[in-house]
Amino acid sequence: MKKLTFLIVLCGFLSTINAQKQSYQEKKATTNAQHIADTMDLNDSQQTVLYAILLGKYQETSKQIKGNDLSNEEKKIIYRQSFKDTNDKLSAIFSNEEIKTVNALLKEQNQKKK
């Protein structure tokens, strides 16, 4: 419960600080969290936590990959670790079945954008 409260406060703080300029990662996290929340009928607190988790995922992977001239294999390793870390964080608020649904919806959203 402490983690959930912390994430909600952190998300609120981050959104207040970065209100003027929204990065690509923030837009992607917002779009994906909104799509998942609408599809799964999540409440506001679940949506806020989901947004915070996705934003952290996108920002961290971007930071690790951009400008580091990595091979595709190295990028895959980073993406796999990011997927695992995200699932661990999601398990604090969602069941395994809900996590599978979240991942399926994220995959669906990513395929739409290609």
Report the candidate in 32, 44, 2, 27 with the shortest Cα–Cα distance to residue 102.
32
Q: Which token pair is 9? A: 């406060």
Helix 44-65 × helix 72-90 angle, to 10°: 160
What is d(CA 114, CA 109) in angstroms, rounded to the nearest whole number? 9
The predicted-structure confidence for 20-37, as pLDDT tens digits, reads as follows 456 888 899 999 999 999
Which comes out higher in pLDDT, residue 102 or 1?
102
> Quick one: 70 exposed, middle or buried, by C-beta within 10 A (0-12, 13-18, 19+)?
middle
The predicted-structure confidence for 21-77, as pLDDT tens digits, reads as follows 568 888 999 999 999 999 989 888 899 999 999 999 999 998 888 888 888 899 999
pLDDT on residue 5 = 73
Q: Which token pair is 37? A: 């929340």
